[in-house]
Amino acid sequence: RNGDMLKSLIGEGAGFDFVASPLRRTRETMERIRLRMGLDPYEYRTDPQLMEVNFGDWQGFMMEDIAREREDLLEARARDKWNFVP
What DSSP assignment string belongs to 12-72?
A: T-TT---EE-SSHHHHHHHHHHHHHTTS-TT--EE-GGGS----GGGTT--HHHHHHH-HH
Residues 67 and 34 in one domain: no
pTM of the full predicted structure? 0.61
Residues 46 and 61 in one domain: no
Residue 25 has what pLDDT? 92
pLDDT tens digits, residue range 1-52?
A: 777 888 888 887 888 899 999 999 999 999 998 998 889 999 999 999 998 8
Residues 7 and 46 in one domain: yes
Contact 63, 34 (CB under 8 A): no
User: 57 is in which domain, residue-wise?
Assistant: 53-86
For residue 55, pLDDT beyond 80: yes
Residues 7 and 22 in one domain: yes
Q: How many structural domains comprise the chain?
A: 2
